[in-house]
Structure 1
Amino acid sequence: MTQEETVLERLFQTLDDKTKSLNKENGQSLIENLGLAMEDVYTNQRDLLEQATLQDRRKAFQFTYLSLLQQEDIQANHQITPDSIGLILGFLAQRFLKNKDEMHVADIASGAGHLSASIHEVMMESTLMHHLVEVDPVLSRVSVHLANFLEIPFDVYPQDAIMPLPFEEADVVVGDLPIGYYPIDERSQQMTLGFKEGHSYSHHLLIEQAVAALRPSGFAFLIVPTHIFEGDKVKQLQNFIATETEMQAFLNLPKTLFKNEKARKSILILQKKETNVTRPVEVLLANIPDFKNPQQFQAFLQDLNSWMEQNHSEL
């Protein structure tokens, strides 16, 4: 067993045990107590924490979270973004923004903060300031504890991400967008992608919010349903994307990450238009191969690199 595995395992075991003992004491949910357990380690077990790398810490959080999910009935929006998706999204953001040393990264509907943590891990060489927006009070609190535990900067805004956002001019917006209907018609009808009648799609409104939060020529990297451009109501979305952004890429995530084709997701990459600057590109459409297949993954990276050279030679 390597030294690193030992630290990771010890950290995981410590978080897992502390979460369960707190749960017996206070009766709050396991997820809520995981936040308190991270705070306890951060405050009282500095020796253990300081032996752990950022990756050790993030993985210990992820493993504990996943182990708690098996013991507690968890609502769908409490699932965390798998690190395989977070790391590829971070890699793509790094590729598109490699000339920027400092960035404001907004994460809309950020959940427990695991997607932002995974991106931070990939982009360690840049200085990132993270802005997380999450309406669920339990998850927004967990993300504050996670930021302390990882010792990385998260500003957490505990609010509905479809309501007006408290910041603008982000260099990058990311999001693993929740799918479904948005119940507040009064708000959605103020928005371009709101429907005239009935509840609007929350994932459409979040795409509009992502674009609104970007500075001109900033990039959005959004995890969306693979079938988002099918079915009715799609014209409105396509028109918005064509008017406000230059669509860069639509990359289907590996099938192996999802239960079935219906649940499959893709990464939508948009660049906000800047007056007289942003130029159209040929949209990159591709399947991201299974990460366990290095040859296919290498071929995907070559395609991405040649697309970048043709469409973003300045990056």
Structure 2
Amino acid sequence: MTQEKTVMERLFQTLDEKAKAFNEENGQSFIENLGLAMEHVYKNERELLEQATLQDRRKAFQFAYLSLLQNEEIQANHQITPDSIGLILGFLVKQFMANQTELHIADIASGAGHLSASVHEVMTDVTLMHHLVEVDPVLSRVSVHLANFLEIPFDVYPQDAIMPLAFEEADVIIGDLPIGYYPVDERSHEMSLGFEEGHSYSHHLLIEQAITALKPSGYAFLIVPSNLFEGDNVKQLQNYIATETEMQAFLNLPATLFKNEKARKSILIVQKKEVNVTKPVEVLLANIPDFKNPQQFQGFLADLNTWMTENHPEI
């Protein structure tokens, strides 16, 4: 006896088959055709879509994206942020913004929009205004299709996230920062974290952009390399963070999520300084345990709650 497929499985199968069919018709990339497949389902498969929860829809998108990657070699910055990372980041945003009913939340270098979708899924009791900034035209189009498919509001800005942004005063900035060198030296020389010689680090410049775009006392939750504060050129970064923000936490994501220690990432949480409002805290440095180990994970949550009570009693 075959098990009946869940709504999520049916939705995934529909997206997967439709994207592959479009690919045979038009020869565009699988990622572009996944965007078209989501649009097709949104317009023509309403009955199936309306049976699906937000989580069903997001998971179907994630599985379809991962399925298409088996057919197509893609560049590293086209990888989506896994939901295991997106959901923990969303949980942290929820902890720090617990008293808020509305939030203006911006995602810099937002890719296909999966990180924003994961955060939205966690923060169901808050009205979120999403701004997504993505330079790659394929990914920015996919994120528009994803917003329709999920029926959640994304304002998508198809631009280089290191160039001046079209908005400011965000309550929260999130981002899974691409690692590498930024080629536009004229722009990096205008910024505090640009290097005097040679190309600057794009992830350093994006940290500066995030902090600049925050309203005073707003928070940034950024996925960064775990070795962010090691090696050359870190003094400049450390000084900038110390001058402009109150650093809150540096949390290493579970090692099991990464191929090797060099590829490991962490979540950097900073609060933009505001005169007479923000105050220094004892920075929370911790390893987030493997999500498959509930006992250790409960221990981490208990430590986080204790830290919040001691350092942010008003939240």
TM bucket, shorter chain = over 0.9
**Aligned residue for 1:159?**
159
Structure 2 residue 297 is matched with structure 1 residue 289: no
Amino acid at match of 2:112: A
Residues 219-238 of structure 1 deviation map (CA, whole Å, 9 limit, x = unaligned)? 00000000000001000000
Between the aligned partners of 1:6 and 1:85, the Cα distance in structure 2 is 24
**Aligned residue for 1:98?**
98
**Aligned residue for 2:267?**
267
Look up the SS of the partner of 1:50 in the other structure: helix
**Aligned residue for 1:169?**
169
Look up the SS of the partner of 1:11 in the other structure: helix
Between the aligned partners of 1:280 and 1:164, the Cα distance in structure 2 is 29
**Aligned residue for 1:314?**
314
Between the aligned partners of 2:167 and 2:94, the Cα distance in structure 1 is 22
**Aligned residue for 1:78?**
78
Look up the SS of the partner of 2:72 in the other structure: coil
Residues 263-293 of structure 1 deviation map (CA, whole Å, 9 limit, x = unaligned)? 0000000000001211000000000000000
Structure 2 residue 281 is matched with structure 1 residue 278: no
Look up the SS of the partner of 2:143 in the other structure: helix
**Aligned residue for 2:22?**
22
Between the aligned partners of 1:20 and 1:201, the Cα distance in structure 2 is 37
Cα distance change of structure 1 residues 299 and 112 upon mapping to structure 2, 3 Å threshold: same
Look up the SS of the partner of 2:174 in the other structure: strand
Residues 122-159 of structure 1 deviation map (CA, whole Å, 9 limit, x = unaligned)? 00110001000000000000000000000000000000
Tell me the number of residue pairs that the alignment of Structure 1 and Structure 2 aligns. Answer: 314
Between the aligned partners of 2:168 and 2:3, the Cα distance in structure 1 is 45
Superposed displacement of residue 2, structure 1: 8.1
Cα RMSD (Å): 0.9
How does the TM-score come out when normalised to structure 2?
Answer: 0.99
Look up the SS of the partner of 1:310 in the other structure: helix
Amino acid at match of 1:87: L
Q: Give me the identity figure in percent.
A: 81
Superposed displacement of residue 70, structure 1: 1.0
How does the TM-score come out when normalised to structure 1?
Answer: 0.99
Amino acid at match of 2:111: G
Between the aligned partners of 2:148 and 2:244, the Cα distance in structure 1 is 36
**Aligned residue for 1:12?**
12
Look up the SS of the partner of 2:6 in the other structure: helix
**Aligned residue for 2:137?**
137
Between the aligned partners of 2:250 and 2:276, the Cα distance in structure 1 is 24
